[in-house]
Amino acid sequence: MQQPNGRRKPELVCPAGSLRALQLAVDAGADAVYLGLRNQTNARAFAGLNFDEAQLREGVRYAHARKAKVLMALNTFAAAEDPQPWFEAVERAAGLGADALIVADCAVLSYAHRHHPELRLHLSVQASATSYAAIEYYRQRYGIQRAVLPRVLTLSQVAHVARNTSAEVEVFGFGSLCVMVEGRCALSSYATGCSPNNAGVCSPAAAVRWAERDDGSVDARLGGVLIDSYAPGEARGYPTLCKGRFEVDGRRGYTLEEPTSLNTLELLPQLIEHGIAAIKIEGRQRSAQYVAEVTRVWREAIDAAATDSRYAVRDAWTAQLARWAEGQQHTLGAYDRPWR
């Protein structure tokens, strides 16, 4: 939407791991919600999450009645021995009125482009397209209309990509960070035997084990590998290898990444100035309440940044988001690299 000051207000794209989360996101002001089916075609294949056909139909109806879009995530890589479930998911999404597909796999992109040329295609972050040349290839070859950038680019690199591609650019604004390169990470496969790129989850629930010791401390294991040990009463998150604590050279700590959440509220004016088409909130695996509260904050912030030349991050927004941040910490992640 074009604003009086000439800036385009970016869409607010919010997660929906359940029908309730979808409804709360739409009611809180999301311009679009993204969701997945209950199978391996989406990258958040947790038990108890995602949509069956009846829920998807109701979700589309609910969103469209309130002028919101529904984006279907088919963002894992199709199995070489049987890509049919991904092709069938394309057909289900098209038949039920999804507004766009979020896709990483070239075979799925090709199928959707050939069979449903009227359906918008968004290039998933899982495709790891970090340059405008890569995005332009996908646009020219498969007709993508938007690309979701991986969370590894600085703000100036994001701006450079946006200036040099005809596709819309979507970036992550808030939520858990993927510290490995999306679409290329195979870290958890060493412990679980399942690749996060096609199994639909970094830490499959079947591979997660919690064990309480006599002193009240709790060990977290993934595929039998000890990746963290929590003191009695210490807050603990869902175990992933990249955010585990290990002993290295006699020192115990977060070896790869400390749990923290991306929060780019302060960068909103620059992102709008650079023509970013959409701001994405991470968290389909989070609660419906998380979705509602985070969406509400970001709706207010985007509206303010698009219209107020004196925009500033409000303390109330920061406090609200801190309640939902991993480790109650915020970071600008790769957007701001002070050593550059």
Confidence of residue 46 (pLDDT cuts 50, 70, 90): confident
Give the pLDDT band (50/70/90) at residue 7: low
Same domain, 231 and 245: yes
- What average pLDDT does this structure show over 82-94? 96
Domain extent for 222: 203-254
Q: Where are the beta strands (DSSP E) in the chain?
A: 11-15, 32-35, 69-74, 100-103, 120-123, 146-148, 168-176, 208-212, 218-222, 225-230, 245-248, 251-254, 261-263, 278-281, 330-331
Q: Which residue, among 8, 5, 33, 147, has the nearest Cα to 99 in the 3D structure? A: 33
Lookup result for tokens 């394309």: 90
45 plus 122 within the same structural domain:
yes
Q: Is there a domain that residue 183 lies in?
A: no
Q: Which bin fits 175, alpha (ψ -120 to 50), beta or left (φ > 0)? A: left
pLDDT of 235: 77
What is the token pair recorded at 115? 């069979």
pLDDT averaged over every residue in the chain: 91
pLDDT score, position 236 = 76
pLDDT in tens, 117-136: 999 999 999 999 999 999 99
Q: Look at the block and give the residue holding tokens 């496969």.
A: 189
* 37 and 131 part of one domain: yes
Same domain, 235 and 170: no
Check if the beta carbon of residue 101 is closer than 8 Å to that of residue 74. Answer: yes
Last residue in a domain, options 235, 254, 273: 254
Flag whether pLDDT at 20 surpasses 70: yes
Same domain, 34 and 123: yes
| Whether the Cβ atoms of residue 188 and residue 201 lie closer than 8 Å to each other | no
Question: CA angle, corner 158, sides to 295 and 5, nearest 5?
Answer: 65
Instruction: Please choose, from the candidates 225, 204, 218, the residue with its C-alpha nearest in 3D space to the C-alpha of residue 285.
Output: 204
Over pLDDT 90: what percentage of the chain?
65
* Tokens encoding 81: 């021995």
Please say if the pLDDT value at position 9 is more than 60.
yes
Strands (E) across 177-238 are located at 208-212, 218-222, 225-230
Residue 194: inside a domain: no
Spell out the residues 6+ positions from residue 157 whose beta carbon is closer than 8 angstroms to its own. 130
- Per-residue pLDDT, averaged over 173-188, amounts to 80
Please give the single-letter amino acid code of residue 73: A
Q: Own/partner pairs for 133-140, CB < 8 Å, 24+ apart?
A: 135/161, 135/165, 135/167, 135/169, 136/164, 136/165, 136/166, 136/167, 138/109, 138/167, 139/165, 139/166, 139/167
Q: pLDDT per residue over 290-318, tens digit each?
A: 999 999 999 999 999 999 989 999 999 99
Residue 338 in tokens: 């002070």
- Among residues 254, 271, 289, the one where a domain terminates is 254
Domain end marker among 254, 270, 286: 254
Tell me the chain's radius of gyration from C-alpha atoms. Answer: 20
The rounded distance, in Å, linking the Cα atoms of 99 and 211 is 44
The pLDDT confidence band at residue 147, using thresholds 50, 70 and 90, is very high
Mean pLDDT of 103-129: 97
Q: How many CB atoms lie within 10 A of CB 299?
A: 17
The reply to whether 210 and 271 lie within a common domain is no
For residue 295, the domain's CATH number is 3.20.20.70
Q: Are residues 44 and 152 in the same domain?
A: yes
> Both 169 and 222 in a single domain?
no
How far apart CA 291 and CA 283 sit, in angstroms, is 7
Query: How high is the pLDDT of residue 1?
Result: 54
* 340, part of any domain: no
Query: Does 329 lie in the same domain as 216?
Result: no
CA angle 334/242/172 to nearest 5° reads: 35
Query: Is the pLDDT at 145 greater than 90, yes or no?
Result: yes
Prediction pTM value? 0.91
pLDDT of residue 260: 79
Question: Alpha carbon 133 to chain centroid distance?
Answer: 23
pLDDT at 340: 52
221 in any annotated domain: yes
User: Total domain count for the chain?
Assistant: 2
Phi, psi of 235 (to 5 degrees): -65, 140
The answer to whether the Cα torsion of 320, 321, 326, 329 is positive or negative is: negative
Report pLDDT digits (tens) over 230-264. 899 887 777 888 888 888 888 888 887 777 788 99
Find all residues with CB under 8 Å of 67, minimum gap 6, and list them.
Answer: none
Q: What gap in Å lies between CA 169 and CA 284, rounded to an integer? A: 21
pLDDT band at 156 (very low <50, low <70, confident <90, very high): very high
Q: Is 227 within 8 Å of 221 (Cβ atoms)?
A: yes
| pLDDT beyond 90 at 328 | no
Percentage of the residues of the chain whose pLDDT score is greater than 70 = 95
pLDDT of residue 3: 52
